[in-house]
Structure 1
Amino acid sequence: MLAPLPTPASAPRGEPSLALPRSFWKDFSQRHWDREPAVFKQPFAQHFFTGQEIYEAFLEAALRMRRGEYTTPLRFFIEHEDGPDGLPHYGMVLFPAPYLPTREDGDLPNYLARLDKLLGGKRFGLVLNRAQGFHWNHWLQATTFLSGLYASAGVPLGSNDSSIFLGNYRYTPFGIHKDNSHVFNFVVEGTKRYSLWPYEALSGRDEVPKGVSLIDKPCSILLRDKQEEAELLSRASFLEASAGDVTYWPVSYWHRAEPTEGMSLSISLGVSFSAPYFTADAPPHEWPGRLRPTEMPSRRAWQVPASVRSALRQRGQRKALLSAERESTADWVRLLTCGALNGAPPEAQETPLSPDEWIRAHPERPIVCVPLPDKQLLVSAIGRSSTLPGSPLLRRRLERLVSSLNLGKPLSVSALEQAFFSRLPSRAFSRASFRALLDDLVRWRAVQRCPAPGRKSR
């Protein structure tokens, strides 16, 4: 049975952070990044992922799936031992509702106990992609960890993603494969053992397409039998990690999880320099592979980086293409305000603000204003956005509002509203729209309620 990790009695309050010191990233960049696999033994003193947080992320994803909102981020595999080649095979359950967590389970151990009875002891694997979109703490942990990588290697602009792997499966359900991402794997509970091969070791196999390099592309290896498996494993290198450890392998490496004792729980954080997922529908042209950390959203006046603007301008100036440019610009801004992760964290469940309340933004997670074609303005934060009228007068008011919030100081809702509408023509923007924007920022977690200066929070 999988037990939750203990929480240290001295764990500090506040937001969880997995930021590592510059010395770690300097050594990592020189020795391992895009070079060779590595394992780092318990590099975090605090704020590591917990089993309960991961259970809550699974539960949120399961609730959305049951409502029909999501069908692909959650995959459930059942292991079968009767493969004709002597290897186990895995069947993916297309409608896994009975096998997913429910509120009645309460926690991860209870869920696993129910699942064991339901499966009659069969081995299983549960995979949640875009996990940062299902738990606020998970998004914070992922972005704070990646901040050090961004500072040392630049900001990858592909479909960067966090995936949770839970189960007692013996092998990765989708076999030996490679991704289009560099991978950091965090072991939360149990032990993980990975077999790894450099790209050249397996690129000559028949099932690997010829005439094109897949060194940074996804691909899978098809094993015929146990004899072939043994031959490949004899040429592999191995990484083994326990709870609290982090492993890394470059985008070029083939890999597979190997058998270990009991249940395991781990998180794979992939970073990719390929084109972001939303560019798939755009005309083929060059997209920037990475940005400098200084080009990411900041609390000062910020604009979409020049390399992104240049790519967007290639779409042309006709009206239909301007609309496409507007949508693509919004996609890019949401990606960048989300820390270059593929998916925003879940919205906060908050009541509308009242005029006598106070709010403050986090100075390290800035709100941005970006002009769009056809005199519109995009207000965006933490992977979400709202499109507003962008007349010159209203744009100046909105930029001033955002600039005030980005200072990170407590601000009165009523004072913000009064300053915003001072000498503003009544038809330029309604007070209801202003309050709706502030409520959006609260739901996006870009601003939070706070006590008035001089008052202590209850």
Structure 2
Amino acid sequence: MHHFRESDTIENPLAPARLRRQFDAGWWTDFLAHSEQMSRPCVFADALDAGQARLMRRQVLDILAELGQTHKAKYGYRLWLDGRQVDELDEHFALHPLPHEEVEDWVGRAFGERKFGIILNRGEKFSPGLSQAIALIMEPALKMIGMPTEGILFTVFIGNYDMTPLGIHKDSPGKSVIHFHLGPGPKTMYTWRDDDYVTAPGEKRCNNMNIAPHLPSAAHHAFGAGQLYFMPENMFHLGMQDELSIGIACWFYNRSDHDFACELLHRVREAHLRPSERMLKADRRPVDDIATVESALSLLALPGDGDLRALIRDVYRDLRYSLFSNAGYRNSPVPREDKPEMRPDSRVAAEAPYRMLCRPADEAGRLALYVRGTKIALGNFPGLEAIVDRLNGGGKFAVEDIVAMVDDPLAEKKVRYLLGLLHRYRGIAVTPR
């Protein structure tokens, strides 16, 4: 069997320039028209070509290999075998895909003839190439429809099961989805509007495995390798297939204002509530004496005027900077562990389509720098913002040219430290001359 490699083509099938030509504003204009402004399910046959789908399948396998060798059971990895969820994953992770192993070969080695399904949440944290490809594809869409209030995340689905292990179900409220189907086998999605999905008395409505009586009332959408499927939010649905396939479900995350307020309050707690293990005692004060609460309130670092609304607004601004620096992705990538050699003639370049963003930090003299969704507080120095702007503008620059932008006796030390951080959090690539 021939094993596909990027070097097999003159141009990388997922090269930024190619994806930008392929999924331009015109393509997304047609997408919005066909989906009636993202309000009805539909299939888009003119999407990825065979080489792109194959390479993306390989990148998904690389994610599974990384999880199996490094991260183990983190990040919401779920496995079903013959219809039953498997809780202990060590044996499964030990059979992770091998480099350049085709998906059919890996499945045969890892599962034999058994039916299986894998769901991996927060897939955007892994595989820089796959995350970049989807970010480039989605770039014009975000400019046209705006940034989802809580960003974008994607879920990887792999399996040869006959139907989604979750049965007929709805996803979290407010999440619409673009499903990039990578094959090799096809898939069919069944959807129901609420009024069309009529359950019998006592029948489980969500995660309903009794599917046969309901298939006649469903709309169905069949799609194959390289095709895209869109589904609006809040729809009952069920995926079915007869063959092995891989799909990436890219979610636009918008929720109710109440749910969003809860998320922002959670972020306030995470960022501004100091930890304490001090145990309270029964309160012996009179009913109107509430002084005991002050010790708990003292843990909350509110602004000087104590305005909680102002703090929530600032938390949302922080979230926006995070999303805009990460092409809309809700989750930051796993940081790099390697430290590249950074000679004066080494070249640095921003990773398209991501943009590093700056704003003043709360502490005087410091700058908040957002790199792929990670917020870094740095001591500000003349030239720092100019460096970020230059990198964001595109192109490759020698380290010595970046150092020359800073008029400071410690310029080289400061620039190398800055570039090291940008590389660690995947905002830039560093290459030899």
TM-score by length of 1: 0.72
Equivalents in 1 of 2:157, 2:344: separation in Å? 45
Q: Is the 8 A contact 1:75 1:93 kept in 2?
A: yes
Residue 166 of structure 2 aligns with which residue? 174
Residue 183 of structure 1 aligns with which residue? 177
% identical equivalent positions: 18
2:234 partner SS? coil
Deviation, structure 1 residue 440 = 1.6
Equivalents in 2 of 1:206, 1:154: separation in Å? 42
1:413 equivalenced with 2:405 (yes/no): no
Deviation, structure 1 residue 366 = 2.5
Equivalents in 2 of 1:397, 1:8: separation in Å? 39
Q: Is the 8 A contact 2:62 2:97 kept in 1?
A: no
Listed one character per residue, the Cα deviations across residues 158-202 of structure 1 (whole Å, up to 9, x for unaligned) are 252111111111111111112231111122120101111123334
Choose from 429, 436, 440 the match for 2:417. 436
Q: Is the 8 A contact 2:152 2:250 kept in 1?
A: yes
1:281 equivalenced with 2:271 (yes/no): no
Any unmatched runs of 5+ in structure 2? 270-301
Residue 385 of structure 1 aligns with which residue? 375
Choose from 70, 77, 80 the match for 1:77. 80
Equivalents in 1 of 2:7, 2:185: separation in Å? 19
1:63 equivalenced with 2:57 (yes/no): no
Equivalents in 1 of 2:93, 2:261: separation in Å? 30
Equivalents in 1 of 2:405, 2:228: separation in Å? 49
Listed one character per residue, the Cα deviations across residues 139-166 of structure 1 (whole Å, up to 9, x for unaligned) are 1121112123223322212252111111
Listed one character per residue, the Cα deviations across residues 232-284 of structure 1 (whole Å, up to 9, x for unaligned) are 212101111111111111113211112x3231211111112224996350469
Q: Is the 8 A contact 2:327 2:353 kept in 1?
A: no
Residue 25 of structure 2 aligns with which residue? 22
Deviation, structure 1 residue 450 = 4.6
Residue 52 of structure 2 aligns with which residue? 47
Equivalents in 1 of 2:401, 2:202: separation in Å? 65
Residue 144 of structure 1 aligns with which residue? 136
Structure-2 change in CA distance of 1:52 and 1:142 (3 Å): same
Residue 11 of structure 2 aligns with which residue? 12
Q: Is the 8 A contact 2:132 2:352 kept in 1?
A: no
1:199 equivalenced with 2:194 (yes/no): yes
Structure-2 change in CA distance of 1:415 and 1:11 (3 Å): closer
Q: Is the 8 A contact 1:136 1:346 kept in 2?
A: no
Listed one character per residue, the Cα deviations across residues 181-229 of structure 1 (whole Å, up to 9, x for unaligned) are 11111221201011111233348887899xxxxxxxxx93435x4xxx3
Q: Is the 8 A contact 1:77 1:125 kept in 2?
A: yes
2:340 partner SS? coil
Q: Is the 8 A contact 2:189 2:222 kept in 1?
A: yes
Deviation, structure 1 residue 436 = 2.1
Deviation, structure 1 residue 30 = 2.4
2:355 partner SS? coil
Choose from 319, 324, 336 the match for 1:336. 324
Residue 294 of structure 1 aligns with which residue? none
2:383 partner SS? helix
How many residues are treated as equivalent by the alignment? Answer: 382
Equivalents in 2 of 1:152, 1:324: separation in Å? 27
Structure-2 change in CA distance of 1:326 and 1:436 (3 Å): farther
Any unmatched runs of 5+ in structure 1? 80-89, 210-218, 285-314, 453-458
Q: Is the 8 A contact 1:329 1:372 kept in 2?
A: no
TM-score by length of 2: 0.76
Equivalents in 2 of 1:318, 1:268: separation in Å? 44
Listed one character per residue, the Cα deviations across residues 283-307 of structure 1 (whole Å, up to 9, x for unaligned) are 69xxxxxxxxxxxxxxxxxxxxxxx
Listed one character per residue, the Cα deviations across residues 413-435 of structure 1 (whole Å, up to 9, x for unaligned) are 2343344243x6x7xxx864542
Equivalents in 1 of 2:254, 2:66: separation in Å? 29
Residue 369 of structure 1 aligns with which residue? 358
Equivalents in 1 of 2:138, 2:261: separation in Å? 17
Give the aligned CA root-mean-square deviation in angstroms: 3.6
Residue 219 of structure 2 aligns with which residue? 237
1:177 partner SS? coil
Q: Is the 8 A contact 1:359 1:413 kept in 2?
A: yes
2:137 partner SS? helix
Equivalents in 2 of 1:365, 1:450: separation in Å? 18
Structure-2 change in CA distance of 1:173 and 1:152 (3 Å): same
